[in-house]
Structure 1
Amino acid sequence: MTAKLPAECETKDDVRAEIDRVDQALLALFAERHLYVTRMAEIKTDPHEAYDPARIETVITKVRERSLELELDEDQAELIWRTLIDWNINFEKGIIAARRRAK
């Protein structure tokens, strides 16, 4: 099935099918990103390294700038990324702490 542009969608089912397609692509990208987050947790040695405020703000600034370029609401994008970052921080801390306990 070929992807349709939004303007080519004629029914709610058309739109839903395209949203489902995009959601699948997003999930695949999140899964790929998670592999890198996992690797970062393997490289870091202290749970406190998981929280890097300067890095977080750099990422958020880039997300907001890119969102504007893509005509996406930058506040919504920031909320999504801050949620993702918070989850990643907790995930990394857990991996690092578990590894340290196992030593």
Structure 2
Amino acid sequence: MTKAPEACETKEDVRAEIDRIDQALLRLFAERHTYVTRMAHIKTDPHEAYDKARIDAIISKQRKRAEELELDEDQAELLWRTLIDWNVNYEKGIIVARKRMG
């Protein structure tokens, strides 16, 4: 059962809720990863994996969303840039491997 932050009375209560959220985040990252993988199979050139205009738009959108949620925009940007960098490298690897195999 989910507890609101103010209903958590012990460190264990808080940790249990953080663990629950972390598990949900991991499921969402896994789902997101399936789409990143699909995108890598759709793209035909490794250079397509890095799209500066698209990345800038994503970062801008996430910064705005973070602000609306009263989260630190710089931390949100750092998180998204890390995720995007990982995805770009992952996509490039798949595309390059596919091109080598012909």
Q: What value does the CA root-mean-square deviation take over the aligned residues? A: 0.3
Paired with 1:64 and 1:88, the residues of 2 have a C-alpha distance of 19
Paired with 1:73 and 1:64, the residues of 2 have a C-alpha distance of 8
Paired with 1:75 and 1:54, the residues of 2 have a C-alpha distance of 19
Deviation at 1:76, TM superposition (A): 0.3
The DSSP-based 3-state class of the residue aligned with 1:72 is coil
Report matched runs for 1:2-13 at 5 Å: 2-13=1-12
Report matched runs for 1:64-79 at 5 Å: 64-79=63-78
**Structure 1 runs not aligned, ≥5 long:** none
Deviation at 1:9, TM superposition (A): 0.3
Which residue does 2:27 correspond to in 1? 28
Which residue does 1:90 correspond to in 2? 89
Which residue does 2:62 correspond to in 1? 63
- Match for 2:28: what amino acid? L
Q: Normalization by structure 1: what TM-score?
A: 0.98
Paired with 2:61 and 2:28, the residues of 1 have a C-alpha distance of 18
Paired with 1:60 and 1:25, the residues of 2 have a C-alpha distance of 22
Paired with 1:92 and 1:5, the residues of 2 have a C-alpha distance of 38
Deviation at 1:75, TM superposition (A): 0.4
Give the percent of matched residue pairs that are identical in Structure 1 and Structure 2: 75
Paired with 1:72 and 1:19, the residues of 2 have a C-alpha distance of 16
Q: Normalization by structure 2: what TM-score?
A: 0.99
Paired with 1:77 and 1:62, the residues of 2 have a C-alpha distance of 10
**Structure 2 runs not aligned, ≥5 long:** none
